[in-house]
Structure 1
Amino acid sequence: MERPFTTYAGALRNTLLSLGLAIAANSISGQDIRLGVPTGLTVEQELALSGRFTSASLVDIDVQALHVLVSTHDRTHVVDLRIGPARELRLEIEQNEMRPFHYMAEETGPNGRVQLPRSPCITYRGRVAGKPESIVRLNIEADCVWGYVVEGGTMTFLEPLRELVPNTVSERLHVAYRASDLLPRDIGSCGAAPLAEQLPKQLDKGGPAGVAKAGNDCRKLEVATESDWEFYDDGETFSDIQGNLNMVEGIYYSQFNMRFLIVYQHQWTTSSDPYSSNETGCAPSLGPGQLTEFRDHWSANFDHIRRDINVLYTEKEYTDASNIGCAYTGRFGNGTDNDADSYCVNEWIDDVFNPSHSAAGRMVLVAHEMGHVLGASHDDANCSGAASIMCSTLNTNATAFSGTSVTQIESDLDYVSTEENDGRTSIRYRYYPTNTQNPIIAPFAGTTTGNELVVDAAHSLLFGAGTLTYQATDTAFLRPGFHAIAQPSKVVHIKIGGCDVNGL
């Protein structure tokens, strides 16, 4: 029988790509920082992996050296990574800081809610050198690397061996595998109801379908995360969530040109959290579930946090059938204020003895539940082969949205209505490429809370992140000498230039 696992030295070589900048004399450009040697599998490790994969490679990486390089030099880095006998990838990676300047982290424990310091950035993005269509999403910490590379239509994951095999201590050993290599591929179910069973969409959407977009909009989804006591008690951190969202963002960026801004993170460090249910909330006959608890608690206690979508991470073992996640479906582009129901809950399976545990599985789950909130229903007609992310039975081989799901999500993201937090008015920065002496017509009536308005001209200003009120008949002019003063706890942003989807 063919041995399913191969072991390779990680052949990890790092150089700096100067991008036109002068490199200092003490630069480590070109220095070989990988000093590892090929390492084989123990009998215990091979037995454990044989039940997890049909094929995989063991990679030895000098993680500490890589972490020092990328965390101390704010440039694009070139990393040569060998993940097979004839497969060496030259990766060009850069820091992908997903947290804007107004990001805030808090925890609630025995002494109440306290604010936490900002942690170092661990999220990186990039591409395979010479292949602009490729995608690289890596999370680099002091003791591990995890993420994926998409090249030639194949997604290859990289994950620490200790996350997959019991009693593994080494920080250097990592497993490279394709999504299709995982056993089992089915990791659980989502019990979210079809669109027809959710709150019905409004028929009055403030205008006909196909309304022209008001300028060159940027899709920047502002994400707030919650994690319960079980998640914290098992040792998971905000960095784990940031790394997961970095991987999920790679999918949404490639298919919807959407960036994630993690604006707020909260965790519970006491068992007295408000989440008593062990059910997702997708089985109404069993009670409200954690989804309802999440929505009700945050609606009552976190209304001051500006966000577009709310994502909860738990390590509870849900008891309603095989469900591992749940979401309110079709909350965007429905003619209503989406603040009420843009919630999803996700079971973070982190039991090394559970075959459903993998970074790939957690990525698919969160991408799936967020897809529900953004308008996609279950897509069980496209679940064979390279399955759709929106299959009701979650499959690690599903690493992209099908055409059906893309159409559903695009429709809701692009819809224009009179509601301030609906569809495109919620997740976009609105850019008006017009001269400042021309009138700026308010895009809709009422109060626009936290949306951004840009006039692309000399002395153009971006202002928002507070509450800007326009009446339906108002015309706003920016005259020479215009200035704005932020109210207490509010912020005024000033920006010159056009839309930058990659900017914070």
Structure 2
Amino acid sequence: MYKLITMKKNSSIYYPLILLVLLMLGNGIVSAQDVFQALPVNASYAETNALKKIFKTQTIVQLDAQAVYQFIKKSGNKSSFVINAGNNYHWNISLEQHDLRSPDYLLQSTTNKGLITLPKEEISTYAGFLKDGPNNYVRMNIEAKKISANIIDHGVAYYLEPLKKFVPSAAPDKYIIYKRGDSRPVEGVCRQVASAEQQVNQKLSSIATPAAADCRIIEIATESDWENFAQGVTASDILANLNFVEPLYQNYFGASIVVKYQHQWAISSDPYTATDLCGGSPERLSEFKSYWQANFTSVKRDVNILYSGVDFTGGTIGCAYVGVFSGSTSDACYAVAQWITSYPDEKREVLVAHEMGHIFGCVHDETGCSSTDGPIMCPNINAVCYTQCTPYWSTLSFSSIISSFTSSNGSARLRLREFFQSVNTAFSLGLPYSASGNNLFVASGNIVTNGFFGPGLIAFTGTDNVTLQPGFSASVASGLGNFTAQIGPCNQSSQLTTAVPMQVPAKAITATPIAENIKSVNTAIKVYPNPFSSIANIEISLPKTAHISLSVYDPSGRLIDKPVNNKPMLAGTNNIPYTNKQLSANYYLFVIEIDGVRFTEKVIKLP
């Protein structure tokens, strides 16, 4: 196992953004378009002096963040609006809620009263695209009093941030807009324990098509030490950072980020004392790993990130274990990133993506980093940009991450989230059978018998969900038995605490009416292509005339579309072409209902 020290640090003008409601009255119809105009404002002398240490150039605008927030919240899950700054920026944005947090997400804080659970805050992370440009995406973080944005427009990365972040005395409605390369580079070196021979990297000219045909999910847990908490960094700030980081994995590798757990130290007596980030004894990275392996075993995660407010010895700002993601499926994937309050979002986005890259097997790009357009895995954050104006992975790093993701251990972490169990027939010897997974789908007959080794047992355990699919049945071939289900939260030892037992004599559990109907209908259903990009065809072969419904659910179980509702179809082969341009890249459940009989197909939508 290798460790890597990643980086060291070195010791205009717009008009106020005004919400325009353009009302066009005619024939009794009212229509409206929401446009936020950006007009020039001047920087004060203090603001100019502070910004010139961080940026080479930037644009200062005035923005009513609360108005944007209220508009987004009023719009619901999806919204469309324009940010217009004349010839400089004209962004026609389509945006939707993009909650990085899992359904079982938990936020906890250690205080002087012990460990407390904090309420889940409203969604503040959003994702979308520009309506009038190729190879683009939009990520925004929108709260009541501040917003930030990362907009990829025709291959150039633009950022919008509060000016108050860099100049505490600035008015809260002042914001800056800059593009990649406008901020000053952060120089640094890396002391690498082991390195690999590297070739000159080939720049990726555009956002690559996801390499995964399935849904890769990187489950992340975050930690915030006392120093980071004391400087005002919140769990929402960390989510905002990961919202910007995610496209660097999602667009290149088809891997989404899901935040399972966040913890913060609200007292100074946290367990981290080392001022060396890596390479010392003690060191902060090892302290983080040891403490979490001992105290957070119940948190299911792939990657652990400590956001630290410590100014570490030697100016080191990031550290991670290299290649541990594919090395095993044990809890070994740890990284530390220093949160420097004066860093622009551009720098922190690259820093965290860089440290995660080490976990996925990337070493430093020693070649090409002296250029003006270095890749993500350069040992320093070189922000100067002329041609490659979005963060990108070198060919070597791209290959390393793909290799890590497709390895047996990497696949187990990322993809073995759903397990499908078919028929489990009688066990004549009474041997137990058990199956477990994150999301477990159980179908068909489940039959147990008494045997030489005693009563038979079939057990299904799901960390997140156990779904009894249409056709599920449980029965006893000989003797007596019970069907038992337990639902409830788990304790630190992953044991059910307040379980709600449900017990039914097994002889009373026969095939469900749905199962009987399925057997008699003899229906064939095919969804192709799967995955699909623009059109998915649902082919249904019917033995007789039937009424068909099609419903589309997202991974959380929320109904998002119902294009077909109780439509009569004739016997024979029927085809339903499904298109939905608003459908984002993800996996979905297509539920086809035929005369009251429901069939479920998992379908993957590509960008």
TM range (shorter): 0.7 to 0.9
1:237 to 229, 234, 237: 234
Query: Cα offset for 1:431?
Result: 5.7
TM-superposed deviation, 1:394: 2.5
Instruction: Report if aligned partners of 1:227, 1:268 keep a CA contact under 8 Å in 2.
Output: yes
What are the equivalent positions in structure 2 for 1:94-493 lying under 5 Å apart?
94-131=96-133, 133-168=135-170, 170-183=171-184, 185-186=185-186, 188-191=188-191, 193-194=193-194, 217-281=214-278, 283=279, 286-319=280-313, 321-334=314-327, 336-339=328-331, 341-350=332-341, 352=342, 357-383=343-369, 384-397=371-384, 399-416=391-408, 422-430=409-417, 436=422, 450-453=437-440, 464-465=462-463, 480-481=472-473, 485-486=485-486, 488-489=488-489
Q: Secondary structure at the match of 1:260?
A: strand
CA distance in 2, matches of 1:96, 1:306: 21
Output the CA distance in 2 between the equivalents of 1:415 and 1:96. Answer: 29
TM-aligned CA deviation for residue 27 of structure 1: 10
Measured in 2, the distance between the counterparts of 1:148 and 1:269 equals 30
What is the Cα deviation at residue 456 of structure 1? Answer: 11
Change (3 A) 1:435 1:110: closer
Give 2:353's aligned amino acid: A
Higher relative contact order (CA 8 A, sep 6+): 1
Whether contact under 8 Å (1:103, 1:264) holds in the other structure is yes
CA deviation string 1:255-314 (max 9, x = no partner)? 111111111000001110000011112x2xx21311000000000000010001001101
Q: Give the TM-score normalised by structure 1.
A: 0.77
Aligned-pair CA distance for 1:64: 0.6
- 2:34 is equivalent to residue 42 of structure 1: no
AA at the equivalent of 1:332: F
- Cα distance change, pair 193–449 in 1 and its aligned pair in 2 (3 A): farther
Q: Answer with 1 or 2: which has the greater Rg.
A: 2
- Out of 72, 77, 80, the position equivalent to 2:79 is 77
Distance 1:344 1:192, change over 3 A: farther
Contact 1:449 1:467 in 2 (8 A): no
Contact map agreement 1:107 1:269 (CA 8 A) in 2: yes
- After superposition, the C-alpha distances for 1:399-428 in whole angstroms (9 at most, x for unaligned) are 121121011001011112xxxxx2111112
Cα 1:406–1:276 change in 2 (3 A) is same
Q: Write the letter of the residue equivalent to 1:406.
A: F
Q: Deviations over 1:412-455 (max 9, x none)?
A: 11112xxxxx21111124567x995699xxxxxx9987533558
Q: CA deviation at 1:484?
A: 7.9
CA RMSD, 1 decimal: 3.6
* Richer in strand (by share): 2
Sort the Cα spacing of 1:78 and 1:488 in 2 relative to 1 into closer, same or farther, 3 A: closer
Q: Does structure 2 retain, via aligned residues, the 8 Å contact 1:382–1:402?
A: no
Distance 1:477 1:70 in 2: 38
Contact 1:192 1:327 in 2 (8 A): no
Conserved 8 A contact 2:319-2:337? yes
Pairs aligned (count): 436
SS of match in other structure, 2:55: coil
Q: How far apart are the structure 2 equivalents of 1:92 and 1:229?
A: 38
TM-score, normalised to structure 2's length?
0.65
Please report how far the alpha carbon of residue 79 of structure 1 lies from its aligned counterpart in structure 2 after TM superposition. 2.2
Unaligned runs of 5+ in 1: 16-24, 198-212, 417-421, 440-445, 469-475
Identity %: 30
Question: How many Å separate the matches in 1 of 2:102 and 2:361?
Answer: 26
Contact 1:160 1:175 in 2 (8 A): yes
Q: Compute the displacement of 1:327 (Å).
A: 0.3
8 A contact 1:191–1:323 mirrored in 2:
no
Contact persistence 2:125–2:142 (CA under 8 A)? yes
Matched letter for residue 463 of structure 2? A
